[in-house]
């Protein structure tokens, strides 16, 4: 979903559908920790208002012999009796884009917050909404960790600082900065079950700021590639041999061929398999040519103290007591 201060587009993203994902898998078992928690945002509210408004207007437009021409007359033709002179230019542009979208697809998915429905409301601030979402999810995950530790009889002494570090290839979590080895082992055993470490990894990803030193473009791209291939094929690139510039399975099959085959088998991705294959195929070829370790892994860490996670490697921190 593309968002700026006024315009939101929700396209059919061919690289992020069902079993083809850059994020935590929908099919993964339920874990105590959830990287994404339900939250109704200002953009959600506005999109609902626009869907309700333009679904009705779309039905009205369909009564005309040529709905597209009628929409054009309303917002582009000043000589038309249907011209909406009561709207500002920005509002006409907003209505035009959304009505055309509905006329073409029969549904919503494209939103412009310059619409007259919000004429008397404050302008939409996607940056502030992003911060609010991160704060909300941090509070939720903090609560989930508290419940998980409490349910399993784990008591972490006050002012004890722990650092959770997660390997992206197997989502294995290790506890650093702890002087209590027994506590560290207890936490590792608990967090490395039921996809908790995986969910915590994605929570760290979603909490990152642009200045984060944990992320580099290349490491992030490598992680998304590895995660994509594993989600679709079940194979981890780290475990595969490279032969003649290709990642090869134990039976000698090129993993890229398996990837394309699985995309075509999935009804949600078959139509756009070529786009996905082109996008990830070039990255896969480059990684195979240079070697899996030619790009550092996206190893992520986060601190935990006094019942809250605290971000590291970035100026913006979403931990309890850290938000300014």
Position 16 confidence tier, pLDDT thresholds 50, 70, 90: very low
> CA triplet 100, 105, 108: central angle to 5 degrees?
75
Residue matched to tokens 């408004």:
53
Instruction: Give residue-wise pLDDT tens across range 73-108.
Output: 999 999 999 999 999 999 999 999 999 999 998 888
pLDDT at site 97: 95
Position 36 confidence tier, pLDDT thresholds 50, 70, 90: confident
Q: b or e along 27-55 (b: 16 or more beta carbons within 10 Å of the residue's beta carbon)?
A: eeeebbbbbeeeeeebbeebbeebbebbe
Q: What is the mean pLDDT of residues 292-300?
A: 97
Judged against a pLDDT cut of 60, whether residue 4 lies above it is answered with: no
Helix, coil or strand: residue 29: coil
Judged against a pLDDT cut of 70, whether residue 32 lies above it is answered with: yes
Contact 84, 92 (CB under 8 A): yes
280 token code pair: 């990830």
Distance (Å, whole) CA 178 – CA 2 = 41
Q: b or e along 86-107 (b: 16 or more beta carbons within 10 Å of the residue's beta carbon)?
A: ebeeebbbbbbbbbbbbbeeee
Residue matched to tokens 């990803």:
205
Q: What is the mean pLDDT of residues 275-290?
A: 95
206 token code pair: 């979603």
Judged against a pLDDT cut of 50, whether residue 13 lies above it is answered with: no
Distance (Å, whole) CA 245 – CA 289 = 5
Distance (Å, whole) CA 324 – CA 316 = 9
Q: What is the mean pLDDT of residues 42-66?
A: 95
Judged against a pLDDT cut of 70, whether residue 276 lies above it is answered with: yes
Distance (Å, whole) CA 225 – CA 282 = 10
Q: What is the mean pLDDT of residues 7-33?
A: 45
Query: Which of left, alpha, beta for 306 (phi over 0: left; psi -120 to 50: alpha)?
Result: left
Q: b or e along 135-149 (b: 16 or more beta carbons within 10 Å of the residue's beta carbon)?
A: bebbebbbebbeebb
Judged against a pLDDT cut of 90, whether residue 125 lies above it is answered with: no
pLDDT at site 320: 82
Supply the pTM of this predicted model.
0.76
The mean pLDDT value of the chain amounts to 89
pLDDT at site 323: 65
Residues contacting 214, CB < 8 A, separation 6+: 204, 208, 298, 299, 300, 301, 312, 313, 314
Q: What is the mean pLDDT of residues 146-174?
A: 95
pLDDT at site 324: 55
pLDDT at site 12: 29
Q: What is the mean pLDDT of residues 162-168?
A: 96
Distance (Å, whole) CA 31 – CA 24 = 12
Instruction: Give residue-wise pLDDT tens across range 186-195.
Output: 999 999 999 9
């Amino acid at each position: 979903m593309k968002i700026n201060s006024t315009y939101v587009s929700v396209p059919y993203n061919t690289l992020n559908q069902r079993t083809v994902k850059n994020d935590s898998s929908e099919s993964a078992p339920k874990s105590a920790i959830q990287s994404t928690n339900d939250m109704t945002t200002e953009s959600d509210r506005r999109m609902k208002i626009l869907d309700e408004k333009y679904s009705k207007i779309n039905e009205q437009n369909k009564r005309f012999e040529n709905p597209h021409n009628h929409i054009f007359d309303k917002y582009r033709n000043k000589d038309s009796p249907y011209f909406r002179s009561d709207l500002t230019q920005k509002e006409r542009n907003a209505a035009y884009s959304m009505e055309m979208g509905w006329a073409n697809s029969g549904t919503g998915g494209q939103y412009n917050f310059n619409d007259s429905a919000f004429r008397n409301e404050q302008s939409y601030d996607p940056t502030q909404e992003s911060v609010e979402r991160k704060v909300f999810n941090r509070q939720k995950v903090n609560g989930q960790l508290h419940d998980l530790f409490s349910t399993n009889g784990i008591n972490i002494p006050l002012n004890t600082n722990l650092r959770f570090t997660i390997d992206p290839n197997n989502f294995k979590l290790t506890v650093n900065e702890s002087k209590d080895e027994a506590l560290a082992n207890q936490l590792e055993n608990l967090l490395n079950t039921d996809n908790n470490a995986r969910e915590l990894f994605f929570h760290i990803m979603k909490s990152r700021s642009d200045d984060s030193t944990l992320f580099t473009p290349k490491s992030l791209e490598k992680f998304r590639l590895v995660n994509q291939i594993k989600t679709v094929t079940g194979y981890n690139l780290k475990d595969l041999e490279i032969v003649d510039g290709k990642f090869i399975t134990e039976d000698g099959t090129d993993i890229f061929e398996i990837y394309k085959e699985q995309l075509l088998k999935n009804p949600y991705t078959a139509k756009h398999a070529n786009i996905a294959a082109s996008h990830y195929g070039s990255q896969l070829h480059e990684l195979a040519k240079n070697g899996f370790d030619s790009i550092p892994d996206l190893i992520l860490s986060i601190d935990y103290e006094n019942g809250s996670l605290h971000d590291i490697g970035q100026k913006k921190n979403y931990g309890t007591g850290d938000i300014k």
